[in-house]
Amino acid sequence: MKSSKNIITPTGDSLSTQIAVIGSGPGGAITATRLAESGLDVTMIEEGPHLSLDSSPHFSLDEITQKYRGGGITVGMGKTKVAYAEGRCVGGGSEINRGLYHRVPSEVLDFWSREFRVEALNESELAAHFDACEQGAKVSHLPSLPSLVSLKLHEGASTLGWSSIEVPRLTRYDLDDNGKDRSTKESMSQTFVPKYLAGGGKLLPNTRVQHIKRNGSHWHIHSGNSGNGHRSLEIIADTVFVACGAIQTSALLRRSGFKRNVGNSLRFHPMIKVAAQFAEKVNLPGELDPVHQIKEFDPRFSMGCSATSQPALALALASHPEYLGEVDRHHQYMGLYYAQTTGGQGIVRNLPGFNDPFVRVSLNSSDLRELAEALRRLCECLFAAGAIALYPDIAGFPKLKSIAGLDELPDLLPADRASLSTLHLFSTCPMGEDRTRCAVDSFGKMFNTDQLYIADASLLCGPTVVNPQGSVMAVAHRNVMEYLDRLKR
């Protein structure tokens, strides 16, 4: 893969292309692939390196160092801080996430269509685009029983009469040499990027785009050294698709002078985690990744299983340093779970002298109250599943030993002590025909510009309620097919 002649290292200070796609995550990779397969001259630009999916173990320190922006240390600042993760490699977030896949709920699409005046966005019109993405990305269900960590969540939900589902993933399942089920993660670097290269597309990794500027009938894309030995370069393109993710897309556009409705409306799914200890072993080597989510309380909040490695458990118990020894002694008896809501908002701004933008987030009292309720419900479910101890990720909060301890949980999550994170960021450049709140039209074209489009989670109008990767992929596919149709007219 890495020796492909289409993975380029420019010999001069500039290069020209018909279409430039900045970013190679789910939105960018799908957009670039369809453009290249249509016979267009396409160059996909990625700030990070081009690495194989198995260049490092998943969720390991090596992977975080190689593939995460800022070594995984990225935080939205505010009274309540929220840690977030961004991929910085070919394939973007698809390389580092768990690959859980949902179709966006129809009620969410209806709300966006109504409130933001998005055209041609409903369940039936997106169905074919979901189908194409699911086939190309290899979305699969489990071939057999899920892991014990996953089953515990499902067991607790069933005991309480709550709706619990298995979420499909971007995963390939087969059998190992011993006839046991195993899973192999899929990602853009495994699926759409190879198709893109086979279709004649060119890939330019290790290239950080500093700003873009329209000059006559062309876009001039100025890049600088991204810390990987790549020199400065100017890329000249007729058309540009920006697909750097909700944070970096809005930062790039603002650096380039595009500020109207850009970076002002960040939304995310705030998440709080709970480590659960059981009387029996649930966290065994070689088990398939957990896949269950509780949907009983959607769209207000949902619950699910996190990756439950020993380091992840230790990180979750950082709020309880006195209990870290439990992870060393009993990690095979422990699982990691989360509750997440749709509350919270933020802004993205650039600061002089800094490469990465400043992200400010805020959660009001209603947001914190809903998170507290979601946490309480998650703990209730885990005790119903047989947990003997729970460790909510709140600094200074005691471990819970029985369901009676739920009375000790706060009604309002403490803003300064709760350890919140998110993997789902969107809405910094919302799409639609309402120009008072939207940055791009219904199909991703920026208002008052020529041949400038957005193709990532930035253009989603708000929280998707579910994991947004499927929504990003389908909307990007919808938009690029509309672009290609318009070229034929």
Q: At what angle do helices 469-488 and 26-37 cross, to 10 degrees?
A: 30
Q: What is the pLDDT of residue 231?
A: 64
pLDDT above 80 (res 376): yes
CA distance 457 to 428: 8
Residue identified by tokens 């899920």 is 146
Higher confidence at residue 278 or residue 323? Answer: 278
For 411-433, how does the pLDDT look when each residue is reduced to its tens digit (9 = 90+)?
999 988 999 999 999 999 999 99
For 117-137, how does the pLDDT look when each residue is reduced to its tens digit (9 = 90+)?
999 999 999 999 999 999 999
pLDDT above 90 (res 4): no
Three-state secondary structure call for residue 184: strand
Helix (H) or strand (E) holding 355: none
Backbone angles phi, psi at 391, to 5 degrees: -125, 85
The CATH fold of domain 1-58+100-138+187-262+430-489? FAD/NAD(P)-binding domain (3.50.50)
pLDDT range class, residue 374, cuts 50, 70, 90? very high
Among candidate residues 292, 331, 424, 477, the one labeled active-site is 424
pLDDT above 70 (res 454): yes
Q: What is the pLDDT of residue 225?
A: 60
pLDDT above 80 (res 489): no
CA distance 365 to 371: 10
* 424 is known as an active-site residue: yes
pLDDT above 50 (res 1): no
CA distance 137 to 135: 6
Q: What is the pLDDT of residue 229?
A: 55
**Secondary structure E strands in 225-362:** 233-242, 266-268, 271-278, 292-294, 301-305, 334-341, 345-349, 358-362
pLDDT range class, residue 230, cuts 50, 70, 90? low
Calculate ∠ Cα 264-270-272, nearest 5°. Answer: 160
For 132-188, how does the pLDDT look when each residue is reduced to its tens digit (9 = 90+)?
999 999 999 988 889 999 999 999 999 999 999 999 999 888 877 777 777 888 999
What's the rounded mean pLDDT across residues 60-64? Answer: 85
For 335-346, how does the pLDDT look when each residue is reduced to its tens digit (9 = 90+)?
999 999 999 999
Domain spans of the chain?
Answer: 1-58+100-138+187-262+430-489, 139-185+270-422
Is the N-terminal amide bond of 414 cis, ω within 30° of 0? Answer: no
Q: What is the pLDDT of residue 299?
A: 94
What's the rounded mean pLDDT across residues 12-31? Answer: 96
What's the rounded mean pLDDT across residues 361-387? Answer: 97
pLDDT above 70 (res 226): no
CA distance 340 to 90: 28
Range from 135-144, 157-166, 222-231, 278-287 that averages highest in pLDDT:
157-166
Question: Taking phi first (over 0 means left), then psi (-120 to 50 degrees means alpha), and beta for anything else, what does residue 311 get?
Answer: alpha
pLDDT above 70 (res 223): yes
pLDDT range class, residue 465, cuts 50, 70, 90? very high
Cβ-count burial 167-176 (b if 16+ within 10 Å, e if not): bbbbbebeee
Three-state secondary structure call for residue 295: coil
pLDDT range class, residue 9, cuts 50, 70, 90? confident
The mean pLDDT value of the chain amounts to 93
Q: What is the pLDDT of residue 3?
A: 43
For 430-439, how does the pLDDT look when each residue is reduced to its tens digit (9 = 90+)?
999 999 999 9
Pairing of strands 425-426, 139-140: unpaired
